[in-house]
């Protein structure tokens, strides 16, 4: 007796269609799963029989062999519980085999026969649509995300019994509601809430307009976290494709609650985070890391100098390629990870270097070790460096109320569209992504401005690498001003965003 | 300002002829390498015994010094020390040598011999010490740099200790105008300490003078630095203290200068700054107050030979308004709101001013530099004179402003 249904396994963020074959034959009662099942799938063996019996269906007291094909892909995750159960039910003719074709099944079963919310269902739906299937059957709680995929029927079922009822024609699913259709981009925070810090607000605007990474150096309590959180609110509104990618990543991580994500993500992992949690990984089920959860959004690393060296080093690949490749013995998983990095650090170990009132008490050698951590290959990819002073009460009260996020975002979007048009033939999304030589060729800088940049190099205010960074930031400032050429005014403002040391004599390395 | 030093005091000093002759020189190589015995302890023995050879013999026989030093004195090979001194390009200048700086003969506990590389040490009238905090502020560093330049341009030698901060800035100031500078080290001349100053010490060794009373190979030690400071003060007609926190070494140098009857000068600072502690205390005790290098040059009665002064850029309106808006360390935000200018423009103008050295960024706030203040004075003076010619007055004698121009330009 033989049955065959479609399942989907998720590797990285990508769903792969899996043919689940079940054979019920003579022998002692047992369930064997073949076809490179991962530990999580092996785990399902003892869960499926109670689930089937709880649904008042019959479990064959014979030898059951389930094969997952193709055998070259390792199958992971709990989403294969349902297709395995359905395969056995098909093999024992408890569901009509004719009704199975065209559907993919996914979801984790409970011992009582319920379908519990399962990560990665959006990826499952995308894979099913790509394979040209008619629809997917997923846990009821995941129906909304699966329904984001166009031209695909979605059946959200709360239990195995309902799935069987659906195939027998005795139960009809409720149409999944479409929460993803409303254009809700409201963030919980707004740039207008920041008092004072006009220079930092302006720097955020420039960072958002050019996709530049940012380093903020300032004492505790200066408002670094507050500012970083608001960067996500002034980035351009996400396109539907971007939203889908973000939603898919959150779905795979099991963090999705509801439908499409519209707001750009803001992730701020603690500095004790492990490389696997930051970059993606895990032993049994490979999960996306914080860098991927920040995809199309902001990754904020507070207390940057305290992060583990191996974790920080690992950030270089996503910053360069916009994706993370997690390699395991059985294969590798790819997660997209194109985010804006915002790093924050104290000016020195005691936190008071450069403070006009408190005196820094750090020893010279510790200060130098600390400053060395604020340079290096990773921070070479940071274009904007900013000193955030702790405001006195007078300065705080004198601060003007700022612009709202939405009005800043309008300017950012205009600047971004200029960049997209300019770099369309080259395939770079924004100024920050340009490699140095390309930036020098494409920046469109006026002779006066070029002269000024060159003189900054002569004054030792800039290194060669600093030259490229400043040029790119100046290009962004020109884009914000709607200027065709980079003018001297844009260059001088960009020069002001290059220094991140409140201790001037230690600044030379920057 | 009296610059004549007091005559040799009533304190005991090295006997005449101490260190004369080859044998005595060899003995001095060994004596300079003893770590536990200072001139203060050695002088009475030398007075009693007469020569360096006899003094060394007395220690070797176990009549003086710690057991370590006695063992050391017996075991050391003077020729090895002489070779090491030669290897680092230094020569031993003994008490009786003609090259021994005469101003050091007038202080208590002078070194019996010093190691010296480079140019001969200056006489007392042309040496000025500039000392201060290692952890100084940016404006302290600027003041020291300008003083170093000004003194060097006036043909004086800038003497300091090659430490980080004020010391280094004053040496650098002198070197930047190819002037004369001298560093007194608290270790052997082949031991570049602190390591951060290694490059600076090497450059001083090439174009200036390095001095130490310790044999080559002697590591720096805590008690060497106060002793080194007495040589710094002893070499100079005046000691300028730029910044110093309570209990700092610059106070010791200034006290030595006072004790030796030399001038003490202090750069005034804000009463709220911890780094003004020493200068302000010295001013209360009678030190001469200066605001900038200009005051110092006036007080010393020296002149800079003004070179050709390049045409300087004028400040434009926006730059002048922002510069005038900075009375204390100020946030760009405040300038933007008080002047009604967009923050992006303020940031840009501040950057222009910073590149030209008129403002500096300290922890996110901007403050004006001494250079900006000097330029402002000059501007108001010029408008009072009503003449566009600001390099030299009609008679060709340099005006104070042209002096500053020379300092700023080089």
pLDDT, tens digit, for every residue of A443-476?
A: 889 999 998 888 877 765 667 777 888 899 999 9
Q: Do A198 and B360 touch (CB under 8 A)?
A: no
- DSSP per position, A155-204: EEESBHHHHHHHHHTS--PPPPP-GGGS-----S--GGG-BS-HHHHHHH
Give CA–CA dist A193/B102, Å, rounded: 70
Which element (helix H / strand E) includes A287?
Answer: strand A287-288
- Return the pLDDT at B289: 96
Place of tokens 């570049």: B192
Residue A53: strand, helix, or coil: helix
Pick the more confident residue, B303 or A270: A270
pLDDT at residue A184 greater than cutoff 70: no
- Return the pLDDT at A299: 96
Q: How far is A369 from chain B (nearest CA, A)?
A: 13
A54 and A43 Cβ atoms separated by less than 8 Å: no
- Return the pLDDT at A24: 95
- Return the pLDDT at A30: 93
pLDDT, tens digit, for every residue of A12-71?
A: 889 999 999 999 999 999 999 999 888 888 888 899 999 999 999 999 999 999 999 998
- Return the pLDDT at A202: 92
Q: Using a CB-CB distance cutoff of 8 angstroms, which residues of chain A are in contact with residue B343?
A: 198-199, 201-202
Question: Computed from CA positions of residues B51, B57, B59, B64, in that sequence, does the dihedral angle turn out positive or negative?
Answer: negative
Give CA–CA dist B134/B169, Å, rounded: 10
Q: Could you give the angle at the alpha carbon of B211 between the alpha carbons of B210 and B217, nearest 5°?
A: 95
Residue A354: strand, helix, or coil: coil
B127: nearest Cα among B221, B201, B208: B208
Written as six digits, the tokens of A385 are: 């460096």
Written as six digits, the tokens of B279 are: 């200068």
CA distances (Å), origin A287, targets A128, A298, B219, B299: 21, 19, 57, 74
pLDDT at residue A284 greater than cutoff 90: no
Q: Do A391 and B331 touch (CB under 8 A)?
A: yes
Strands A323-328, A331-336: pairing is: antiparallel
Residue B388 phi, psi dihedral angles, 5° rounding: -75, -15
Mutate which: B141, B328, B344, vs A, most A CBs within 10 A:
B344
Q: Lowest mean pLDDT of A133-147, A388-402, B80-94, B181-195, name the range.
A: A388-402
- Return the pLDDT at A72: 86
Q: Do B333 and A196 touch (CB under 8 A)?
A: yes
pLDDT at residue A7 greater than cutoff 80: yes
Q: How far is A13 from chain B (nearest CA, A)?
A: 42
Q: What percent of chain A is predicted at pLDDT more than 70?
A: 93
CA distances (Å), origin A432, targets A337, A435, A443, A466, B211: 15, 8, 12, 13, 53
- Return the pLDDT at B27: 92
Give CA–CA dist A300/A321, Å, rounded: 19
- Return the pLDDT at B252: 93
Give CA–CA dist B142/A459, Å, rounded: 16
- The ipTM assigned to this model is 0.76
A235: nearest Cα among A409, A407, A402, A384: A409
Q: List, in sequence order, every residue forming a beta bridge with B129; answer none if it has no partner.
A: B159, B239
Strands A14-25, A2-11: pairing is: antiparallel
- Residues 319-348, chain A: which have Cβ within 8 Å of B? 347
pLDDT at residue A231 greater than cutoff 80: yes
Give CA–CA dist A170/B45, Å, rounded: 117
pLDDT at residue A507 greater than cutoff 60: no
pLDDT at residue A135 greater than cutoff 60: yes
pLDDT, tens digit, for every residue of A412-446?
A: 999 999 999 999 888 888 999 888 888 888 888 99
Place of tokens 């200060």: A367
- Return the pLDDT at B201: 94
Whether chain B has a CB inside 8 Å of the CB on A483: the answer is no
Q: List, in sequence order, every residue forming a beta bridge with A31; answer none if it has no partner.
A: A64
Pick the more confident residue, A323 or A187: A323
- Return the pLDDT at B309: 42
Q: Using a CB-CB distance cutoff of 8 angstroms, which residues of chain A are in contact with residue B355?
A: 455-456, 459, 461, 492, 495
Write out chain B's pLDDT in tens, 410 residues.
444 434 456 788 899 889 888 899 999 999 999 888 889 889 999 999 989 999 999 998 888 888 888 888 888 899 999 999 999 999 999 999 989 999 999 999 999 999 999 989 999 999 999 999 988 888 899 999 999 999 999 999 999 999 989 999 999 999 998 899 999 999 999 998 888 889 999 999 999 999 999 999 999 998 999 999 999 999 999 999 999 998 888 999 999 999 999 999 999 988 988 899 999 999 999 999 999 998 999 999 888 765 444 335 577 888 888 988 898 888 888 898 888 888 889 988 998 888 888 888 887 888 888 888 777 776 676 667 654 444 443 344 445 555 666 666 54
- Return the pLDDT at A505: 42
B282: nearest Cα among B126, B127, B131: B131
Residue A294: strand, helix, or coil: coil
pLDDT at residue A314 greater than cutoff 70: yes
- Return the pLDDT at B405: 64
Contacts of A76 (CB under 8 A, 6+ apart): A9, A10, A11, A38, A40, A41, A284, A285, A286
Closest CA in chain A for residue B333: A198
Q: Could you give the angle at the alpha carbon of A89 between the alpha carbons of A84 and A90, nearest 5°?
A: 95
């Amino acid at each position: 007796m033989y049955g065959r249904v479609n399942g989907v396994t998720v590797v990285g963020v990508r769903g792969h269609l899996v043919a689940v074959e079940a054979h019920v034959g003579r022998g002692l009662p047992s369930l064997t799963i073949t076809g490179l099942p991962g530990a999580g799938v092996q785990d399902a063996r003892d869960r499926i029989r109670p689930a089937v019996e709880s649904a008042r269906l019959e479990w064959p007291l014979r030898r059951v062999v389930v094969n997952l094909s193709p055998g070259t892909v390792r199958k992971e995750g709990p989403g294969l519980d349902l297709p395995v159960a359905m395969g056995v039910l098909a093999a024992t003719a408890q569901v009509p085999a004719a009704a199975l074709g065209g559907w993919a099944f996914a979801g984790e079963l409970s011992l009582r026969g319920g379908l519990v919310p399962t990560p990665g269902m959006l990826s499952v739906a995308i894979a099913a649509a790509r394979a040209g299937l008619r629809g997917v059957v997923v846990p009821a709680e995941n129906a909304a995300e699966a329904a984001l995929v166009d031209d695909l029927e979605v059946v959200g079922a709360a239990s195995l019994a309902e799935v069987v009822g659906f195939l027998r024609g005795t139960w009809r699913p409720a149409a999944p509601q479409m929460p993803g259709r409303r254009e809700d981009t409201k963030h919980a925070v707004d740039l207008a809430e920041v008092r004072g810090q006009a220079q930092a607000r302006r720097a955020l605007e420039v960072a958002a307009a050019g996709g530049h990474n940012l380093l903020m150096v300032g004492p505790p309590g200066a408002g670094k976290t507050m500012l970083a959180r608001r960067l996500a609110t002034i980035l351009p509104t996400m396109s539907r494709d971007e939203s889908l990618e973000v939603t898919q990543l959150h779905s795979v991580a099991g963090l999705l609650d509801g439908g499409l994500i519209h707001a750009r993500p803001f992730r701020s992992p603690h500095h004790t985070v492990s490389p696997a949690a930051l970059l993606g990984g895990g032993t049994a089920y490979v999960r996306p890391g914080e860098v991927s959860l920040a995809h199309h959004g902001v990754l904020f690393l507070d207390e940057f100098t305290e992060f583990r060296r191996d974790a920080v080093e690992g950030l270089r690949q996503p910053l360069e390629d916009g994706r993370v490749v997690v390699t395991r013995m059985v294969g590798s998983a790819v997660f997209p990870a194109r985010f804006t990095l915002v790093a924050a650090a104290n000016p020195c170990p005691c936190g008071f270097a450069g403070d006009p009132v408190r005196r820094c008490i750090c020893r010279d050698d510790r200060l130098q070790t600390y400053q060395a951590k604020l340079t290096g290959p990773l921070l070479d990819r940071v274009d904007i460096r900013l000193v955030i002073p702790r405001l006195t009460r007078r300065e705080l009260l004198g601060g003007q109320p700022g612009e709202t996020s939405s009005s800043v975002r309008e300017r950012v979007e205009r600047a971004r569209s200029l960049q997209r048009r300019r770099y369309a033939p080259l395939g770079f999304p924004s100024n920050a992504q340009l490699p140095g030589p390309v930036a020098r060729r494409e920046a469109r800088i006026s002779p006066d401005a070029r002269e000024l940049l060159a003189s900054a190099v002569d004054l030792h205010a800039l290194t060669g690498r600093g030259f490229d960074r400043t040029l790119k930031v100046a290009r962004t400032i020109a884009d914000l001003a709607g200027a065709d050429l980079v003018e001297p005014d844009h260059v001088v403002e960009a020069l002001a965003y290059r220094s991140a040391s409140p201790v001037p004599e230690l600044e030379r390395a920057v | 300002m009296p610059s004549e030093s007091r005559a040799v005091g009533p304190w005991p000093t090295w006997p005449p002829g101490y260190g004369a002759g080859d044998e005595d020189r060899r003995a001095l190589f060994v004596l300079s390498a003893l770590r536990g015995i200072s001139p203060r302890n050695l002088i009475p023995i030398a007075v009693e015994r007469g020569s360096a050879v006899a003094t060394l013999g007395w220690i070797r026989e176990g009549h003086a010094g710690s057991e370590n030093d006695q063992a050391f004195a017996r075991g050391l090979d003077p020729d090895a020390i002489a070779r090491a001194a030669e290897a680092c390009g230094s020569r031993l200048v003994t008490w009786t040598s003609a090259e021994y700086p005469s101003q050091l003969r007038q202080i208590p506990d002078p070194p019996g011999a010093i190691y010296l590389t480079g140019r001969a040490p200056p006489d007392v009238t042309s040496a000025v010490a500039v000392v201060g905090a290692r952890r100084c502020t940016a404006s302290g560093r600027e003041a020291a740099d300008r003083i170093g330049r000004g003194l060097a341009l006036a043909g004086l030698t800038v003497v300091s200790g090659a430490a980080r901060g004020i010391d280094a800035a004053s040496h650098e100031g002198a070197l930047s105008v190819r002037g004369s500078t001298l560093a007194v080290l608290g270790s052997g001349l082949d031991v570049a300490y602190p390591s951060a100053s290694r490059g600076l010490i090497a450059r001083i060794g090439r174009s200036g003078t390095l001095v130490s009373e310790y044999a080559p190979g002697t590591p720096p030690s805590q008690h060497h630095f106060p002793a080194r400071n007495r040589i710094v003060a002893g070499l100079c007609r005046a000691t300028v203290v730029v910044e110093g926190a309570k209990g700092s070494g610059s106070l010791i140098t200034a006290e030595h200068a006072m004790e030796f009857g030399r001038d003490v000068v202090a750069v005034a600072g804000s009463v709220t700054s911890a780094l003004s502690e020493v200068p302000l205390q010295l001013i209360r005790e009678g030190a001469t107050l200066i605001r900038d290098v200009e005051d110092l040059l006036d007080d010393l009665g020296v002149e800079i030979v003004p070179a050709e002064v390049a045409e300087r850029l004028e400040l434009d309106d926006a730059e002048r308004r922002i510069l005038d808006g900075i009375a204390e360390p100020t946030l760009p935000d405040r300038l933007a709101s008080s002047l009604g200018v967009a923050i992006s423009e303020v940031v840009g103008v501040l950057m222009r001013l910073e590149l030209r050295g008129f403002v500096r960024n300290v922890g996110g706030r901007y403050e004006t530099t001494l250079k900006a203040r000097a330029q402002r004075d000059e501007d108001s003076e010029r408008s009072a004179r009503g003449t566009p010619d600001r390099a030299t007055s009609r008679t060709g004698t340099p005006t104070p402003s042209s002096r500053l121009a020379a300092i700023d330009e080089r």
